[in-house]
Amino acid sequence: MAMNFVKAYQFSRKETTIHALDPRVKLFVSVGVAIIGIITLDPIEIAFLTVIQIIILALSKSMKLWLRSLKALTFFILLIAVSQYLTTQSLIQAIIFSARFILITSATSWFFYTTSPEDLGRALEQMGVPSDFSLAFTLSMRFIPVIANEFQDVYDAQRVRGLNLEKGNLLERTKAFLPILIPLFVEVIRRTYEISDALELRGYGFKEKRSHWKELKLTTNDYIFLAFFLLTIAIIVLHRLYYPLV
Amino acid sequence: MSTEESRKTIIRIRNLSFKYKNAEKNVLDTINFDVKEGEFVLITGPSGSGKSTLARILTGLIPNSYPGDLSGEISIMSFDPRRNKIYEIAQNVGLVLQNPENQLFALTVEDDIAFGPENLGLERKEIKERVEWSLSVVDLQKERHKAPFELSGGLQQKVAIAAVLAMKPKILILDEPTSYLDTLSAIKFAYFLNELKRELNLTIILIEQKIDLFFKFLSRIVVMNEGKILIDDEPDVVMNFCIRNKIPINIPLQLLIIRTLGETYDGKKLYDYQVDDYKMLFEKIINDR
Amino acid sequence: MAKISIEDVSFSYEQDKKNNFVLKDVSYSILPGDSVLLLGPNGSGKTTLLKLIMGLLKPTKGKIRIDDADTSKASVFEISKKVSMIFQNPEKQFFAETVREELSFGLKNRGLREEEIKKKVEEVAKKFGLFEYLDKSPFDLSGGEKRRLSIASIIILDPEVLIVDEPTAGLDFQYRNLMISIIRGFLETRNKSLVVATHDIDFGLRIANKAAVINEGKLVWSGDVVSLLREEEIFSKGILAHTFTSSLISRVISQSNVDFQKVVKILEELTEGLM
Ligand SMILES: Nc1ncnc2c1ncn2[C@@H]1O[C@H](COP(=O)(O)OP(=O)(O)O)[C@@H](O)[C@H]1O
Ligand SMILES: Nc1ncnc2c1ncn2[C@@H]1O[C@H](COP(=O)(O)OP(=O)(O)O)[C@@H](O)[C@H]1O
Ligand SMILES: [Mg+2]
Ligand SMILES: [Mg+2]
């Protein structure tokens, strides 16, 4: 279960044009689409943008991953639809809201599928984000799968000792999590100490500004990608001009 | 080659004691310890005896990151961890920790090696040179674009070493590096470490339980117990002492066989015997019973 | 006592991509009284196989049966009544406020009565030298006490088959000997069986009577320990490496016809006699 959510946003190394794009460009486009997704309520715009996201997902050979994560998120999508329907009594509204959710998750998922945490850290750092922050980010991305494995190990160890998470009332079930959460917590703390030792031993914190041995540079593909994005925006703006009110 | 005597002492420690903050008693107690340039020193002893704590002091993690009461005279290539910062010491003394998983941060081997030099704010050209150099020293050029945590345990350990070497230390400390390696990888690792030392003229301090894998390469063995150094001398002297005093450490079986037969043995010849020679000696023991 | 049969088991961690097999067509049986040493390089699939036997993972292909019951259809809770497993670094699983509570956990989950739990906990605590610490926090114990507690909390479940993963990784001389005496203690009861995955062959030779070798997910050899030591090929092909001790034992038993158990015993006396 925990693994499902981790997988929904996990980077996978592949050789595609999208993977090779500059992480700053990808960040810009993906956040851009997500923002439009948050603002708009127009079904045509949502459909149009979603189709474009699907094209990007296909180009990055991540369709399978995306479909799997949608499956993992089915529950949330239904939840959104039902709650919208209950508050507005409108079926169309319910559909629009869940479609919007799908749009936003797809725009963010291709970004995470195709951008290594490290590239993202590098992008943040070269965009002026302080290195402590971008390192914290890179490290948490790097260690989330490790912690997820650790979770699985502790869970397995306690299952062997007869732990059952599906038994009893809500309070009992919550309490049943303690034999997993306490060891996990202890282990995470222990690891944190070791990681921070290792960082310091490699001279981290020596200079306010670290140097970068690989500088990010925009390539032709990046410009083409950006141009397509701007074109998409232009189409949406035009659409807005013709059909102003939604 | 300079003789043992004329070599420079690069670590000098006198009456060192240390107590972790909030702890009840000293984990290191009036320790005296010297290391000369080019030595290969093995530190062993039961767990909890203070080996890792000593490594933390030698790299400045204590007291910079772990507060506590630290007293005594300390000179590590003329640094003193009470006056110097970790990053200053790190360019002279490198420490490889037990679990490679927790000391590899980047998604490719080469980026991981570059991490330290980047922190030092070095020029791009200098970093590139160091990355190439480190990769070639540990022979990982083929793996440079791979993710470190997808590699086998033995290769991960090498990446961790390459990353520390990119800081250009003169002393390399390794804290139980073979504990998660299988036998074959551990044997290979012992030879690799000895080659590395010779090639780079490093001084090595190795914290280790598997004494027999490294025995023939060592200049000295230090045995610790409950925060004290029990003995610090040439390998064969130390082993004889440990056998006599029943110190619970992994004594190479070869030594035990020879000792049982009551033969005086010459430490340097220990590995000149072949397994079949030992087989004959061992059969003598069986027949004697 | 339980019999485990592993029948043509293949396993892949990737559920949809069923070609990336970590284990391939493994077949093996563990009979009552067997003490099996599972050997193989790191990454060969030892831990995966142990988890499959414990029912924590289910075979992608093939079947594992514990006394005729298919593990694919049984819950871990059901399986844990006969089989139990000690993980690598078992100290990591502590969570309770006291040693007593830590020891009681498995029995409580089984729904035993209070008095019964109390009686068993005290009995096992005595056996493992933990009686005086029953009201202490597990986190305050010394390294050796922690190790004893983590194992006691499994042994208290009285498994018929005990599975142990890399019991000596990272351990010093004394803790390694502690593991040996604990495991021998478990094997004293007739017809209990044991499966130990390890790359520490010297350790394994002191407790096992059978051996199985896996390499890259395939079971490449199985038989009794003595014949493993007579097997040249496994060691020369780089699948397993001899230590000085194992190569010495191997030569002594195959060239000089000395009984294996006797050799192991004398080697132990050598170490202990001088210790
Ligand atoms: N960060 C710490 N705070 C308090 N005590 C510690 C800390 N780290 C280690 N210790 C204690 O110091 C003693 C020596 O530990 P350590 O140096 O890790 O020994 P070794 O490496 O020989 O196993 C142990 O009793 C241990 O519990
Ligand atoms: N949770 C997991 N997900 C994916 N692959 C795994 C997982 N656990 C282990 N593996 C892979 O399975 C193979 C066998 O691993 P393992 O059973 O742990 O070997 P061993 O215990 O012999 O070292 C290795 O290649 C390892 O990378
Ligand atoms: Mg240590
Ligand atoms: Mg394993």
Q: Which residues of C touch B278 (CB under 8 A)?
A: 244, 248
How much is the pLDDT for B33?
95
Which whole number is the average pLDDT over C18-33?
Answer: 92
Please, what is the average pLDDT of chain C? 93
Which token pair is B63? 């007291």
Q: Residue B20 half-sphere exposure, CB side, CA atoms within 13 Å?
A: 12
How much is the pLDDT for C209?
94
Q: Give the closest residue to A107 by CA, choosing from A194, A208, A199, A37.
A: A37
**Share above pLDDT 70 across residues of chain C, in percent, rounded to a whole number:** 98
For B41, the enclosing helix (H) or strand (E) is strand B40-44
Q: Which residues of B touch A211 (CB under 8 A)?
A: 117-118, 120-124, 127
Residue nearest to atom 7 of ligand 1 (CA): B20
**Distance (Å, whole) CA B185 – CA B155:** 9
Q: Is residue A110 assigned to a domain? A: yes
* pLDDT value at B62 more than 50: yes
**Distance (Å, whole) CA A38 – CA B1:** 72
- Three-class SS state of C33: coil
A-C C-beta contacts closer than 8 Å: 63
Domains recognised in chain B with CATH numbers? 3-248 (3.40.50.300), 252-289 (no CATH)
**Distance (Å, whole) CA C37 – CA C210:** 6
* pLDDT value at B263 more than 70: no
Sheet holding C4-11, edge to edge: C23-30, C4-11, C61-66, C69-70
Q: Is residue A193 assigned to a domain? A: yes
- How far B24 CA lies from chain C's nearest CA (Å)? 13
CA torsion sign for A115, A121, A122, A123 is positive
Sheet holding B203-207, edge to edge: B93-96, B171-175, B203-207, B40-44, B220-225, B228-233
B24 touches chain C (CB under 8 A): no
pLDDT band at A2 (very low <50, low <70, confident <90, very high): very low
**Distance (Å, whole) CA C267 – CA A244:** 90
Which whole number is the average pLDDT over B100-111?
Answer: 89
Q: Is residue A211 assigned to a domain? A: no
CA torsion sign for A226, A228, A230, A232 is negative
Which token pair is A201? 């031993």
How much is the pLDDT for C64?
97
**Facing residues of B36 across strands?**
B9
* pLDDT value at B55 more than 70: yes
pLDDT band at A4 (very low <50, low <70, confident <90, very high): very low
How much is the pLDDT for C51?
97
Q: Give the closest residue to B179 by CA, choosing from B28, B52, B27.
A: B52
ipTM score assigned to the predicted complex: 0.92
Q: Is residue A28 assigned to a domain? A: yes
- pTM confidence score: 0.87
How much is the pLDDT for B270?
65
Chain segment B20-40, per-residue pLDDT in tens? 999 999 999 999 999 999 999
* pLDDT value at A164 more than 90: no
Most A CBs within 10 A among C15, C16, C53, C76, hence the mutation to make, goes to: C76
- The C-alpha torsion from C153 through C154 and C158 to C163, rounded to 10°, is -170
For residue A152, the ligand 2 atom closest to its alpha carbon is 1
Q: Decide if A207 and B119 are in contact by the 8 Å CB cutoff.
A: yes
Cβ contact B114:B135 at 8 Å? no
**Distance (Å, whole) CA B234 – CA B236:** 6
Which amino acid, residue C268? E
Which whole number is the average pLDDT over B225-234?
Answer: 96
- Three-class SS state of C56: coil
Q: What domain range is A134 assigned to?
A: 16-203+217-239
Residue for token pair 């922050």: A133
Beta-sheet pairing, C35-39 with C210-215: parallel
Cβ contact A32:A228 at 8 Å? no
**Distance (Å, whole) CA B283 – CA B260:** 12
Topology (CATH level 3) of domain C4-82+161-172+195-274: Rossmann fold (3.40.50)
How much is the pLDDT for C272?
79
Q: Which residues of C touch A187 (CB under 8 A)?
A: 92
* pLDDT value at A65 more than 90: no
pLDDT band at B178 (very low <50, low <70, confident <90, very high): very high
How far away, in angstroms, is C42 Cα from ligand 2 center? 9
| Residues making up chain C, counted from first to last | 275
Residue for token pair 């990454």: C43
**Share above pLDDT 70 across residues of chain B, in percent, rounded to a whole number:** 95
Which amino acid, residue A238? L
* pLDDT value at C56 more than 70: yes
Please, what is the average pLDDT of chain B? 91
Q: Is residue A30 assigned to a domain? A: yes
Q: Could you say which of B153, B183, B286 has the minimum Cβ distance to residue C243?
A: B183
- Three-class SS state of C101: helix
Domain coordinates in residue numbering, chain C: 4-82+161-172+195-274
Which one has a higher pLDDT value, B255 or C116? C116
**Facing residues of C23 across strands?**
C11
Which one has a higher pLDDT value, B243 or C210? C210
- The C-alpha torsion from B123 through B127 and B133 to B135, rounded to 10°, is -170
* pLDDT value at A128 more than 50: yes
Q: Decide if A201 and B95 are in contact by the 8 Å CB cutoff.
A: yes
Residue partners of A89: CB distance under 8 A and separation at least 6: none
Can you give the C-alpha Rg of chain B in angstroms? 20
Q: Decide if B164 and A202 are in contact by the 8 Å CB cutoff.
A: yes
Chain segment C119-142, per-residue pLDDT in tens? 999 999 999 999 999 999 999 999
Chain segment B186-212, per-residue pLDDT in tens? 999 999 999 999 999 999 999 999 999
Domain count for chain A, please give it: 1
Binding pocket residue ranges, ligand 2, CB within 6 Å: C 13, 22, 40, 42-48
Q: Provide the H-helix boundaries in chain C.
A: 46-54, 76-79, 99-109, 114-127, 143-155, 173-187, 201-205, 225-230, 233-236, 244-256, 260-274
Chain segment A205-219, per-residue pLDDT in tens? 887 778 888 888 889
* pLDDT value at C16 more than 80: no
